[in-house]
Chains A and B, each alone.
Chain A
Amino acid sequence: MAAKRVGIVGVGMTLQSSARRDVYGIELINEAVRAALDDARMTRKDIDAIVIGNMDHFEGINYVDTWSVDGSGALGKPIMKMTTGGTTGSTVAMGAYYHVASGMFDRVLAIGWEKNSESDTTGAIITAFDPFWDRPTFGGAVAGLALEATQYMAETGATEEDAAYVAVRDRKNALNNPYAHLRMELNIEAIMGTPYLAWPVKLGDMCPRTDGACAVVFASEDIAGDFPNAPAWVHGVADRHLWAYTSDPYVNQHVKGGTWFPAMERATAELYGKVGITDPLEQFDVAELYLPYSFAGLRYMESLGFCERAGAPALVRSGATDMGGKCPVNPSGGVLSSNAIGATGLLRVAEAALQVQGRAGDRQVPGASLALATGFGGCYWSDELVIGIEKPERNRG
C-alpha cells in the first residue's frame, strides 16, 4: 500500500505578542488548538494523535508533551514531542505529515508554541552548543548570524541596505496580518538608523522575541474531503542538518562539494526533484520562509534556487518578492515580525496553507496555488515543505 497523501484541513494561531501574560503556557497552547479545531469544525474527540514542539529551556519545562495535556487535548490520545531548535515548528509539521502519510493516523494535530517572554532566550540558545568547544565563546544567535552576514557581504558585495530592503518588505507585510507581533512601516533609512546588535546586524534587521502558538490539523486523503475548507496538500518535504559546531557554517560549507548553505541546498535539491520544481521563482506563487534576520532574505534565496549566487540583492530590489511581485515572500510579515520560536516554523506552514486555500485575508496573494515553506534552526538546520491546493497524483515523499 502506498503512502497516504496528506492535506492540511485546519489552522489556528494565537495573537503573537511580546508577552502574553493573560494566559498561562497551557492556556496559550489551548487557544491555538481550539482555533484549529474550530477552523476544521472538529472537536477534540476527532483527533487521532498529536505532535507538539517547543524548546525545553525557553520555558524551563521538561516533558512538555505530558505537562501540556490539558491544553493540547492529548488526554487519552497518542502524543509525542519533537524538538530541533528553531526548526521545531516545521519539524512538528513534518512529523505530523509522516504520522498521516504512514497510514497509522487519519487526523493529526501539530502544535508549536513558545513563551519567549518567560526566560532569557539568548542564555538558553547558547546552551545549544558544545559545552567544551563552543559554549564558552559563543555569543548567541545574533552574533552567530552576524558572522554569516559578514561573510555573505564579503563574498558577494551585498550591502547593509540590500538587507534592509528585506526588513522593510517583511515588516510592511505584517501590517496586513492581524496576528503579527510587530506591525510597523519603516523605510530603509529607518532600518539603517537602528542600533547595531553585532555588526552588520542591526535591531531593525533582527526578529523579535515573541509569545505565541500555532496549531495545524493534518488529514489523510481518505477523509480530507470531509472538512469545510479545501485541503492544502503537502506535495513534499525534505530536510538536512549537516553540522554541530559553531564554526562549521563559516568554514566547512565547502567540504564535500558544499557551496553556500549546503544543508538548505541539498534539502532543496531533494525536495524540488520529488515535487518537480525547476524554476522556483516561476512555479511558486508565494513563499513563507524562516528568515530569522534580514540578511537571510538574501542568502537563503540563493540556496533555495530563486536566483544565482550573489543575485539576491538584485532579485529582491526588483520587487519580485514584494506583494504583487512574481513570488511574494512572507506576506505574513515573516519571522522578523513574529518569532515565538517553537511556533515559528509551523506558522510558515500554516500561512502557506492559508495562501493556497485563498484564506489569507488582507495578506492573500491572489490566485496562489503552490507555496514553499521553510524552517531554519540548529546549526543551519533546514526544513522545507511544498504546499499546494492541487491534489498530487500520489504521495511523493
Chain B
Amino acid sequence: MDDWRESQEILVMDGRIKVPYTWSAGEVGTSYLEALRDEKRFLGTRCPNCDIVYHVPRMHCPDCFTECERYVELAGQGELVTWTVARRHYPPLSPLGGRFGYGVIKLDGADTGFLHLLAEFEEGELVTGGRVEAVFADEREGSMLDVKYFRPVKGVE
C-alpha cells in the first residue's frame, strides 16, 4: 500500500502567508512609544488599588480592572531579573548580530519586569540581579527598538 511513496517523488508546494499588519498602539501605547522616541523616557502606569507600577504600561490593572494612573516615570536602568545569551540566530527575527541576549529587566521605579535585548557584555558578565542600562538608538521611530539594547552598568556589582 505504501509502495508509491518509495517509487515516486513527493511533491511539496512552497508557500508563504504574507499579510501586512498595522497594529494600533492605542492611547497608552502611543504615549509610551512617543516618550521613548522623543524624550528617551520610560513610562509606567500605576494601579491605585493594587499599588503596582506596571511596565510595560497597562490602561487597566490586569488583576482588578481599575483604571491605572498615567504615567509614572521610570529610570533608564534597572535590575536584570533573568537572562540568556542567544547562540543561534534566526536572521529574519534577530535585530542584532554578534553576541547578544535577552533579559527580563525590572526598571527602577517599576514593580514588573519587561523584555528587552542585551548586548555589549563579555562572556560571563551577565548575572541574575545585575544592573543594566538602556542604550538608545540614534534614529528613533516610535518602537521598542528605539532602545537598541540594555548593557551591564560598568563598575557595579
- Do A and B have CB atoms closer than 8 angstroms in the complex? yes
Residues of A within 8 A of B (CB): 19-25, 27, 30, 33-34, 37, 43-44, 57, 59-60, 69-71, 73, 75, 115, 117-120, 123-124, 127, 131-132, 135
Question: Cα distance A308–B62 when bound, in Å?
Answer: 51
Interface bracket on B = 20 to 34
| Number of interchain pairs (Cβ within 8 Å) | 74
Chain B residues whose CB sits within 8 angstroms of the CB of A73 once the complex forms: 62, 65
Other 19 A-B pairs with CB < 8 A, given A25-B23, A70-B60: A19-B24, A21-B26, A22-B24, A24-B23, A24-B26, A24-B28, A27-B28, A34-B65, A59-B21, A60-B21, A71-B60, A71-B62, A73-B65, A75-B62, A118-B21, A123-B19, A127-B17, A127-B19, A132-B13
Residue of A33, A118, A127 near B22 (CB, 8 A) is A118
Q: Are A119 and B26 in contact (CB under 8 A)?
A: no
Question: Cα distance A75–B13 when bound, in Å?
Answer: 41
Chain A residues whose CB sits within 8 angstroms of the CB of B58 once the complex forms: 70
Residue of B15, B20, B29 near A131 (CB, 8 A) is B15
Q: Are B24 and A131 in contact (CB under 8 A)?
A: no
**How far does the Cβ of B23 sit from chain A's closest Cβ, in whole Å?**
6
Chain B residues whose CB sits within 8 angstroms of the CB of A132 once the complex forms: 13
Chain B residues whose CB sits within 8 angstroms of the CB of A131 once the complex forms: 13, 15
Tell me the chain B residues, 70-88 only, with Cβ under 8 Å from chain A: none
- Asked if A120 meets B19 with Cβ closer than 8 Å, knowing A19-B24, A30-B65, the reply is yes
A-B pairs, top 3 by smallest CB distance, nearest first, are: A24-B26, A70-B62, A21-B24
Q: Are B27 and A23 in contact (CB under 8 A)?
A: yes
Tell me the chain B residues, 39-67 only, with Cβ under 8 Å from chain A: 58-60, 62-65
Residue of B19, B25, B60, B64 near A60 (CB, 8 A) is B19
Q: Is B5 an interface residue (CB 8 A)?
A: no
Chain A residues whose CB sits within 8 angstroms of the CB of B20 once the complex forms: 119-120
Q: Are B26 and A27 in contact (CB under 8 A)?
A: yes
Q: Can you list 6 contacts pairing A with B, beta carbon distance less than 8 Å?
A: A23-B26, A24-B24, A24-B59, A33-B65, A34-B65, A131-B13
User: In this complex, what residue of A is CB-closest to B62?
Assistant: A70
User: In this complex, what residue of B is CB-closest to A57?
Assistant: B19
